[in-house]
């Protein structure tokens, strides 16, 4: 089932899982979902990422918005979708890779930072532009990008915390991508799934608060 930008927006927080193993990625996804974060991006920097994607899809089905991230090679696109990914994310914008991603029919997020890169990403068919690393410019930079690109869905990744989720959304983010602040490598390596769930609850509450003005 094809993911829409509206679904990404409704999900709000996309957890970027750079897990030490496929098993850790699956356990982390379980903990994230238990904590209220249902946007899951399993990166290709995770060993045996496709197996992890398939297992998360099998365990959670439509309860999660499941994607594959850190795509760097064209052949990864079709394999990720076959495993169960419904959206695909690359950290940058490379034409051959972008074409392979869009050919799958999945929602595509291409990485960009500068205005020129945003234009290139949209020209190559990006449904969402992943502003990365967003920590370099902060919410003010994202707000500045909204000026020339008011209709481009922007998702900052890097530099997003539970304390500043509201700032990013107020600056015009369609959603936010969160890596170690939400699911730290140390917690995954140690199997501290309760800590991951607590972190997910913090982000879930922050998202709800930002949307309600609480």
Separation of alpha carbons 177 and 188, rounded Å? 18
Helix (H, G, I), strand (E, B) or coil at 69: strand
Q: Are 176 and 155 contacting, i.e. CB atoms less than 8 angstroms apart?
A: yes
The CA distance from 64 to 3, in Å, is: 11
CB 71 within 8 A of CB 78: no
DSSP helix/strand/coil, 108: strand
Say whether 117 is catalytic.
no
The residues that bridge with 16 in the sheet, in sequence order, are 41
Active site residue 50: no
* CB 139 within 8 Å of CB 171: yes
From the list 41, 55, 181, 197, the catalytic residue is 41
Q: Which of 50, 130, 167, 197 is catalytic?
A: 130
**Computed over its alpha carbons, how large is the radius of gyration of the chain?**
16
Query: CA-to-CA distance for 61 and 120, rounded, in angstroms?
Result: 33
Catalytic residues: 41, 130
């Amino acid at each position: 089932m094809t993911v829409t930008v509206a679904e990404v927006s409704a999900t709000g927080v996309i957890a970027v899982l750079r897990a030490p193993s496929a098993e850790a990625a699956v356990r982390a996804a379980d903990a994230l979902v238990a904590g209220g974060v249902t946007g899951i991006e399993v990166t290709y920097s995770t060993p045996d990422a496709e197996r992890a994607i398939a297992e998360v899809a099998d365990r959670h089905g439509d309860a999660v918005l499941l994607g594959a991230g850190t795509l760097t090679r064209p052949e990864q696109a079709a394999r990720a979708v076959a495993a169960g990914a419904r959206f695909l994310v690359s950290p940058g914008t490379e034409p051959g890779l972008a074409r392979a991603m869009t050919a799958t029919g999945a929602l595509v997020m291409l990485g960009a930072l500068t205005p020129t890169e945003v234009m290139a990403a949209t020209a190559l068919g990006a449904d969402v532009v992943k502003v990365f690393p967003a920590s370099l410019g902060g919410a003010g930079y994202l707000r500045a990008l909204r000026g020339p690109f008011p209709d481009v869905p922007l998702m900052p990744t890097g530099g997003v915390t539970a304390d500043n989720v509201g700032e990013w959304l107020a600056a015009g983010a369609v959603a936010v991508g969160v890596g170690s602040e939400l699911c730290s490598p140390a917690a995954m390596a140690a199997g501290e799934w309760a800590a991951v769930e607590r972190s997910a609850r913090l982000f879930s509450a922050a998202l709800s608060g930002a949307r309600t003005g609480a």
